[in-house]
Amino acid sequence: MHGGCINNSMVLEEGDRRYFVKTNKPETLTMFAAEAAGLNEIIKSETIRAPAPLCWGVTAESAYLVLEHIPFGGNTYIGNSRLGEALAALHRTPSSGFGWRLDNTIGTTPQVNTPTTEWADFWSRHRLGYQLTLARANGAPEKLIERGERLAEAVSSFFSDYQPTPSLLHGDLWGGNWSTDTSDNPVVFDPAVYYGDREADLAMTELFGGFSQDFYSSYGQCWSLDPGYPTRRELYNLYHILNHFNLFGGGYAAQAEGIINHLLAEAGG
């Protein structure tokens, strides 16, 4: 199978049975185990379809993850509308705190999910702060790091009138990580699960495209957004832009610095 840039993938057939299989280096077993746990967390919510993990393990040559094979349909009007409804339902899956019981990955980057009671503290330390630490090690401009650290200290200012409750998040919800089955029911996959502000999932849907207005209208009818979302959307997507810099380098540093400067201006700094 083609399309992924991290793992090798294939469909195995045995008679009329099919399995979707990912493989990678042996040391990626913990990544696959966390992905399987994340898929099970979504499935357990009974809100949206995700491929069921069947088994995972390691051989001398590779780690592997075997998933239920789901034939895909297309991203139709009905599918987009149903995705909005299903995502709102997923986000109503509660938790006593932010984070998750396991660390996982965002792309190939470790994602720290240490449970925390305060959302602003969680985002400052385990999302923005962690990516800035990696960015410094990867040669990001010192001005970006210095201003990014100033922003991390000011994160709480974006939540003075808005206190999110922990919601179950897909965590990596761009257009390439969802589709529909042959009955137009939405299917999500390749998650980076944790419990956080639902706005973080919605922000990423706007970062790389792949979601129609039908999706946003459907979600909004189920659960409207706070007026401060457009500003926090930049804060949440900064995490993914910094991660892309840490994975791929290039112009993502300039993009991240522009977002940081705008958010600092919003925060009065």
pLDDT at 237 over 70: yes
Q: What is the pLDDT of residue 253?
A: 97
Task: Look at 5-9, 18-22, 227-231, 245-249 and tell me which has the smallest mean pLDDT.
Answer: 5-9
Q: What is the pLDDT of residue 33?
A: 98
- Average pLDDT (214-235) is 97
Q: Which amino acid is at 12?
A: L
Predicted TM-score (pTM) above 0.85: yes
Q: What is the pLDDT of residue 269?
A: 63
User: pLDDT (tens digit, 9 = 90+) per residue, 79-116?
Assistant: 999 999 999 999 999 999 999 999 999 999 999 999 99
User: pLDDT (tens digit, 9 = 90+) per residue, 58-72?
Assistant: 999 999 999 999 999
pLDDT bin (cut points 50, 70, 90) of residue 1 is confident
- Average pLDDT (18-35) is 97
The DSSP secondary structure of 220-240, one letter per residue, reads HHHSPPPTTHHHHHHHHHHHH
Tell me the torsion sign for CA atoms 42, 46, 51, 56. positive
- Residue written as token pair 């990580």: 177
User: pLDDT (tens digit, 9 = 90+) per residue, 189-224?
Assistant: 999 999 999 999 999 999 988 799 999 999 999 999
* 105 bridge partner residues: 110
pLDDT at 77 over 90: no
Q: Output phi, psi for 253, to 5 deg.
A: -65, -45
User: pLDDT (tens digit, 9 = 90+) per residue, 112-129?
Assistant: 999 999 999 999 999 999
Can you tell me the distance from the alpha carbon of 190 to that of 178, in angstroms, rounded to the nearest whole number? 9
Q: Which of 152, 147, 195, 150 is nearest to 170 (CA)?
A: 195
* Beta carbons within 8 Å of 267's beta carbon, 6+ residues apart: 151, 154, 157, 158
- The yes-or-no answer to whether 8-68 and 77-266 have a common fold is no
Topology of the domain comprising 77-266: Aminoglycoside 3'-phosphotransferase; Chain: A, domain 2 (3.90.1200)
Q: In the chain, what are the domain boundaries?
A: 8-68, 77-266
pLDDT bin (cut points 50, 70, 90) of residue 3 is low
pLDDT at 238 over 70: yes
Q: What is the pLDDT of residue 75?
A: 75
Active-site residues, by number, are 172
Which tokens hold the place of 208? 């790389």
User: pLDDT (tens digit, 9 = 90+) per residue, 139-181?
Assistant: 999 999 999 999 999 999 999 999 999 999 999 999 999 999 9
User: pLDDT (tens digit, 9 = 90+) per residue, 250-262?
Assistant: 899 999 999 999 9
Query: CATH says 8-68 is which class?
Result: alpha beta
